[in-house]
Chains A and B, each alone.
Chain A
């Protein structure tokens, strides 16, 4: 017990902490024995920091490809006729999108910007699925001319599409976005046409009657981070029943059933008690549930010798999330009045928007300097809500320590915000192991490029 050098002591500011009843358990929120990580996607962390600065997003090409292949395989072996639509809003950095397209994924876009981006990358119109509630006449003119598949969100849009197609003398291929109650998640009834109320039937009839519209597909999206495969069974059942009713009543044949996205990643959602490894079903379980139901519900087509509809999955998060991490550094630390250790990082919710709903995994790329204790991780913003982790057990930290925050591949590179800080480099680890920047860090020129100064405001002081 007694050390030979009994007089020397490791410096730590003296601290006394009262025991709070209900949380007296030193092992309660323990973490696995602290392992110092030194590499991400097989690249040295300190080297990445030295070359590309801190913070920096590190993306893995092989992981992205592997994930999307795995997803497709899971569905193909069970159903066959399957396409993946890469949901641009999950991560629309050009390199990421093109990795997906090279893997054969369609572009799933939800705005004029995303549509234009897909076209700019060289994606042909017929490989674009155009969703979203706000499609302007201008972008619809382009999409219809390009032959994109447009999923209609509401009646005004239906009329707009019809008028654009009529003006162009074309027949636009469209799908209907549907909403309904699966009984598993609260219905997202603000998007698309409601089945239960008869609205969807009415819209379908309107499309069928129009000589400028061809009803090709049905689309729906039941929500995000759906942890219950049975919810998708119910979704497929309801969509197929709608399809069958429709085909029985109208002169129409549906080619595609698009079940949207919503498959979870292995991120820890706040408000879920158990860790993700235990609550997130595997892709195989989802594929099994979805495909079995689809085969059952479309049996009537095989009996009448008609082709099975194509299944489209628009999964973003499950494909991209774990293919990216964020490296960030400790810029300062403090002891909060309640005794907790706090660290200020150079990345916060400005870059990690998803920290508002996930408890991200945090690995230390620094040596473990002692017992872990409850720690708060703050971002660099001057906003009280800029918190990366509200409570995490970490050993004593020092300025300059690097942390690896993961997974960050879904929704951060799109929902990040430009508030008081420049957005950092995003790099890609190629399949070859080479590393390159796929989105340059912002600088003053980027930030002020869109500013216009009226003549009389050209000087700050007169």
Chain B
């Protein structure tokens, strides 16, 4: 009831190892695997399921928007631009946040 389960930690760990391998090959700014990203099941509620790893995630509203755009093959810059308009925030700020989000995604995908 209150203990985290070690099984999951193991799977996450393995997962990360695999990813590290990937990022070594591809050291571009966004190491997010486009194919994986497109396979993600994203629901309206912000629930995400990765059919390849079996891992599920929650994403917040802004993250949801970014993932939707990336899945449509739009660029991180375009996503940042959209956020800047919708949230009435400077583009530099949203771009910076989107880049950080991309790094987070790269850890999981």
Contact = CB atoms under 8 A, between A and B. Distances in A.
A20 B80 CA distance: 29
B101 A15 contact: yes
Nearest to B109: A16
A371 to B, nearest CB: 9
Given A9-B65, A12-B62, A17 B57 contact: yes
A122 interface: no
A23 B55 contact: no
A8 B65 CA distance: 12
A404 B50 CA distance: 41
A9 B62 CA distance: 8
Contact of A14 (B3, B58, B62, B88): B62
Contacts of B2: 22-23
Interface in B26-71: 48, 55-63, 65-67
B86 A16 contact: no
Interface string A8-28: 111111111111111100000
Contact of A20 (B8, B85, B86, B87): B8
Contacts of A19: 55-58
Contact of A16 (B8, B83, B88, B104): B104
A15 B104 contact: yes
Contact of A18 (B5, B57, B62, B67): B57
A408 B62 CA distance: 39
B4 interface: yes
A142 to B, nearest CB: 54
Contact of B60 (A12, A20, A23): A12
A12 B88 CA distance: 12
Given A11-B62, A22-B3, A16 B105 contact: yes
B63 A11 contact: no
B63 A23 contact: no
Interface string A256-268: 0000000000000
Contacts of A12: 60-62
B43 to A, nearest CB: 13
Contact of A8 (B4, B55, B87, B100): B87
Contacts of B108: 16, 18
A18 B55 contact: yes
B86 A8 contact: yes
B63 A21 contact: no
A20 B105 CA distance: 16
Nearest to B98: A14
A20 B2 CA distance: 12
B18 to A, nearest CB: 15
A10 B56 CA distance: 24
- Most interface-central of A14, A15, A22 (chain B CB within 10 A): A14
A7 interface: yes
A245 B5 CA distance: 57
A119 B60 CA distance: 61
A14 B86 CA distance: 13
A16 B70 CA distance: 14
Nearest to B108: A18
A8 B85 CA distance: 8
Nearest to B11: A21
B94 to A, nearest CB: 8
Contact of A11 (B87, B100, B105): B87
B62 to A, nearest CB: 4
Contacts of A16: 48, 57-59, 63, 67, 101, 104-105, 108
Given A15-B60, A17-B58, A9 B86 contact: yes
Nearest to B100: A13
B78 interface: no
A16 B89 CA distance: 20
B83 to A, nearest CB: 7
Interface of A: 7-23
Nearest 5 pairs of A and B residues by beta carbon: A14-B63, A11-B87, A22-B5, A14-B101, A13-B97
11 contacts: A11-B62, A11-B89, A12-B60, A14-B63, A15-B59, A15-B62, A16-B58, A16-B101, A18-B108, A19-B56, A19-B57
Given A12-B61, A16-B101, 6 more contacts: A10-B87, A12-B60, A14-B83, A15-B59, A17-B58, A20-B9
